[in-house]
Structure 1
Amino acid sequence: MSPLSRPAVHQAASLLLTYPDSGWPTHLHIVRTVVAQLPLSDSQLLLRRFCDAVADVAPLELAARYVATFDRSRRRALHLTYYTDGDTRRRGASLARLKGLFRKHGWELDDGELPDFLPAVLEFAARCPEPGLSVLVEHRAALELLGHALEKYRSPYADVVRAVCRTLPGPAPADHAAALRLARNGPPTETVGLAPFPPSRPTEGARR
């Protein structure tokens, strides 16, 4: 994918994966306009398909679907480090490292927002393409696992995650295998040292 197109895909995906509140119709209109102007690619087609699938869904109904999809199953969580670290001490270190990276590039998260929340990571990748892409590549296994879980759930949101995966450089088989291993074994369950896993619904995405 063209380096010029990648940030636009990441920004579009960030908006589409954010909880559909009262601003959703505006966000969807913006995304559809931008995506229509992108060069033809797998990512562009996947984003268009998602937008078409939800275009006639009332915001309240889509919000209910969003909650059912992402808030009621940890296998479809939007927090990337959960797939690799689970509720362990190790996850705290991963979150601190991500937060430090954001701050290094002048990025501040909203209060109470975790730095591994996928819409926030995607917005960071759109605004700071080089370090943001590195974060997404680092968490490619989590993205693959999330994509598979959404496909199994038959959610149109699978297209948005797959669109992001298509923007990542290099072959995917090794990460795909890692995602399958996580799916079979499940994430770690140690809970010492971490607060309860928060819902993703109230967050709005990162802001500078």
Structure 2
Amino acid sequence: MPSDAVLYQGAALCLTYPDDAFRARLPLLREAAPQLREFVDHAALTPPRELAAHYVRVFDRDNRHSLYLSRWHEGDTRRPGMSLVRSQELYRAHELEFTGAQLPDFLPAVLEFTARTGKLDLLGEYRGALHRLRARLADFGTPYASVLDAVCATLPHPERQGRERQEQAGS
């Protein structure tokens, strides 16, 4: 499990609908993942209905802040289907079956996969999508941007990631 596993699991929780179970986890999340404190503190101080309405306004109204990464990665072409298939195959290769109501490119699912497996493959593949989503959330002025800031800060630079892949292939 990577050293950032708790962060990834915490970020996955922060990016899901803020129901009662989410609110109950806030104190633990605050202590376990200090990188998420800005968002966690905001969530703890915001009345539940207001936080839920904000989540819907940010993520459910349109695709401007979509948590489905293939939409950011490949746009509105037919290629997202291939990206979804690759994601599904990667889950299966790690003996994880994606059975959620969401698609396998749903950012909280990708973060949970990364937390469980320690594999940065999907986050690395969607690096550009994560940065674009982060910028959109920051422009919108939502505290959810700080969650993406924390996740993006953990990703290796593309050049380093490419060298690591080459070294692994040569081994």
Give the TM-score range, shorter chain. Answer: 0.7 to 0.9
TM-score by length of 1: 0.72
Distance 1:7 1:99 in 2: 20
Q: Please, which runs of 5 or more residues in structure 2 have no aligned partner?
A: 160-171
Tell me, yes or no, if the aligned pair for 1:16 and 1:28 is still in contact at 8 Å.
no
Tell me the amino acid that sits aligned with residue 33 of structure 1: E
2:98 to 102, 105, 109: 109
Query: Any idea what SS the aligned residue of 2:79 has?
Result: helix
- Hey, what does 1:8 align to over in structure 2? 6
Distance 2:33 2:122 in 1: 23
Q: Please, which runs of 5 or more residues in structure 1 have no aligned partner?
A: 37-43, 173-208
Superposed CA RMSD in Å reads 1.7
Tell me, yes or no, if the aligned pair for 2:30 and 2:40 is still in contact at 8 Å.
yes
1:139-172, CA deviations, whole angstroms, 9 ceiling, x for partnerless residues?
1100000000000100000000110000101269
1:57-85, CA deviations, whole angstroms, 9 ceiling, x for partnerless residues?
12222111000001123121000000122
- Hey, what does 2:38 align to over in structure 1? 49
Question: Is residue 116 of structure 2 the alignment partner of residue 127 of structure 1?
Answer: yes
Question: Is residue 154 of structure 2 the alignment partner of residue 161 of structure 1?
Answer: no
How many residues are paired up?
Answer: 159
Bigger share in helix: 2
Distance 2:44 2:6 in 1: 20
Q: Which runs of 4+ in 1 moved over 4 A?
A: none
TM-score by length of 2: 0.86
Percent identity reads 47
Against the structure 1 CA distance between its residues 4 and 115, is the aligned structure 2 distance closer, same or farther, given a 3 Å change threshold? closer
Query: Any idea what SS the aligned residue of 2:33 has?
Result: helix
